[in-house]
Chain A
Amino acid sequence: MNQPVGAQAEVVLRLRGITKRFGSLTANDAIDLDLHKGEVVALLGENGAGKSTLMSILFGHYVADEGTVEAFGQPLPPGDPAAALARGIGMVHQHFTLADNLTVLDNVMLGTESLWSWRSRRSAGRARLDRLAGAFGLAVRGDARVGDLSVGERQRVEILKALYRDARILILDEPTAVLTPQESASLRATLGRLVAEGLSIIFISHKLDEVLEIGDRVVVLRAGKVAGEVPVADADRPMLAGMMVGRAVEQPQRRQLSPGAVAVGLQGVTVLGEGGRRRLDAVDLDIRAGEIVGLAGVSGNGQSVLSDVLAGLITPDGGHYRLADEDVSRAGTRGLVARGVGRIPEDRQASGVIGDMTIPETLIAEDFRARPFSRFGVIDWRAARDFAARIVSDFDVRTERPDLNARLLSGGNMQKLLLGRALARRPRFVLANQPTRGLDVGAAAYVHQRLLAAREAGAAILLISEDLDEVLRLSDRVAVMFRGRLREADPALGPVTVERLGLMMAGQGFEHAA
């Protein structure tokens, strides 16, 4: 796929001067973009750089304030997804637009027939779906309920939806964010077949490595503008990272340390779900002081449950959770905070900050009942504000005022706030669940640096992440969860690589321990 596409290839899509403002924010600023027949353009940018907005305009979810879109030489009417579909533009959304309770065929056929027809030609639809699935290697059963499919299969359904409508241009929005490395490889193979059939593809991503593997040409967006455009053949990682962020980003380095005593110990921790299903199945794990243990896995395999147990939100049905030598399985959240557990929650908006309360209120949420923040049942706001001012300056939280509502902070600053809350008390154990999800490269590097500093200060750290590069870069040891069970990637069996973790995430190495 990496051979350059000559300038002689037909331009199938032409965006000119696309500008879109949301209030005072300019999400897209005079963006020009061309897509040629049979070409894969990777649209690279940080979260919030305007990639998804641009594609939503192209597909008609939004109307641009300025600029024009031409598909196959004809102007595309703005704000009309039906027109985009009719011109052969198909979109695979990052958040799948599928109905879980309906079948694959229902989802694919929706909108392909006149709403006023008195019957649905389902057998013809099924035949067409099977033919397309066969031709492009996208095996999926038409009668399966979408809710029963894996994430990778759902993505195939999304692609089939577009192909069923004869899409000639396919837009994929962060398609690999939810896939295992093997599923990503299979997606790349599919895209290869589509390009061979003459389709043109726009591939949105914020992952540098993947852009270098998939695209013919990379267009980098930064703060709503085109920051640069290069053929993949001429691009490399540092160059793209610099274009994305606008400056060079320094990656923090992990220093060799000899870990101390076991700080956190899990023995046979089991959590039962509905109908006796084991959401956690006899999980054993030791984390030593001064050690980062990385935990990978396809989401939904028990990482969140384990995180809830470690945070004290769930009491395990069996097994022991020890801090040093004390069993804290039933200590609860307050008990754990008091014993020096620092928690960075998976979803910072939902369970981290309290959006409509101020920064000091969010920062003392874990320990406002005790001194120094309250005396005799009255909150000492001066102490709270001083604490907040210290966190804001120590952890480089960018905010107009220190008493702003937490909701108004950007994702990266919100995460720095939570990081500060968790680390300010010099915890013995840091539970970091998806600490850099959705953060830009600069903010992520900062979070990594602070976690490594906590490690050097002697904290035991569990890093739960879907970003395998992050897991491998920061961790002393790596474990994988699959269907509620946990296995460590044994370094004696050779180097721990993304490929090896991918196989484990798909269940390899879990067979014999039912």
Chain B
Amino acid sequence: MKETPLSNCERRFLLRAIEEKKRLDGRQTYDYRNIKISFGTDYGCCIVELGKTRVLGQVSCELVSPKLNRATEGILFFNLELSQMAAPAFEPGRQSDLLVKLNRLLERCLRNSKCIDTESLCVVAGEKVWQIRVDLHLLNHDGNIIDAASIAAIVALCHFRRPDVSVQGDEVTLYTPEERDPVPLSIHHMPICVSFAFFQQGTYLLVDPNEREERVMDGLLVIAMNKHREICTIQSSGGIMLLKDQVLRCSKIAGVKVAEITELIQKALENDQKVRKEGGKFGFAESIANQRITAFKMEKAPVDTSDVGEKAEEIIAEAEPPSEVSVSNPVLWTPGTAQIGEGIENSWGDLEDSEKEDEDEGGSDEAIILDNVKMDTGVDISNIGSQDAPIVLSDSEEEEMIILEPDKSPKKIRTQTIGVKQEKAASKKPMKKRKKKRAVN
């Protein structure tokens, strides 16, 4: 699917807002969006949220034979994926220019800066080394993918624990987490990317551009740095000419931002460690808050239920008391045909003109109708409070009756539908129905 085009008015508005030092989300020029780091239940799994941009990081490891020219070094592998879930414009299974650029930048930031001690990943020199694979998935795209991805990658690596191994002679033993605690990777430093967007040929500068700002920017400068203020990678794209002091200023800002982010990462890692040790709840299900949609919420209209109970009782009291129905033991005439109480004889097949039949029917039938009325009032009262189950309950009761006396079913269902229609006139309805029944009788 094609990308939604940017309209002229958006472009003009954004540029004018940037000139006035204002941003769409109310941030200042050098502000980052909110960063949130949450961990999965397993080690080495995390989600980093940078505003609405979301990246899922997952680290996995495998024992492989090393590369021939580097017999004593483990292998690091990074892979960033831009799925269609993040933005409909991303095509699955195709290496877009953006994807290649981002992957290359990530590798330079994390592998070439030697932040992970690859020598410690060696198990048997020249034979077995650990291959660490970092998979990053963009879950939602709202600009500045590279910063979010680099944070997710380093957080996932810091969080990851590989299984412990021991070498005795030629024998390599791999221990499960139950046998021996998994060991963390040895990480020297944490390089983090910071993006700067330039507008109007470098006159204006913004930190952490969001998606729409990225679309109107003239150029981008990405600086990867660790908290010791060592630059790991620097990349300028978009073809703008930057002055020396501009780059220097950016590197100063990057130093501050990286320090802040590193602190945040360490806090998040410590927090997760603590929770795991205490045996508290952790994992995405706990840490990611669910967003509620309230736009659809209807205000509940207050319904006066103060005297509903009394009214219902009044109605019941006014109604003729049910003639004593002796709910005696069901009599089983033949298998499949039972009878409760002293009713009329079975009248299968007279369904078509049940109204006529009503006239013929005697007193005991009325009792059943009354029963029905009572049941309905019950349903109505509960309906005012909450609109659920009771109707269903009464249904099941009726179902039993239907099996026993099949000729009643059409009538009862009809009364039921009347009941639903007149839901609002709760108090009036039973009376009406009684009248109807009387008329019929």
Question: Is B a genuine binding partner of A?
Answer: no
The interface of chain A, by Cβ under 8 A from chain B, is none
Which residues in B have some Cβ–Cβ distance to A below 8 Å? none
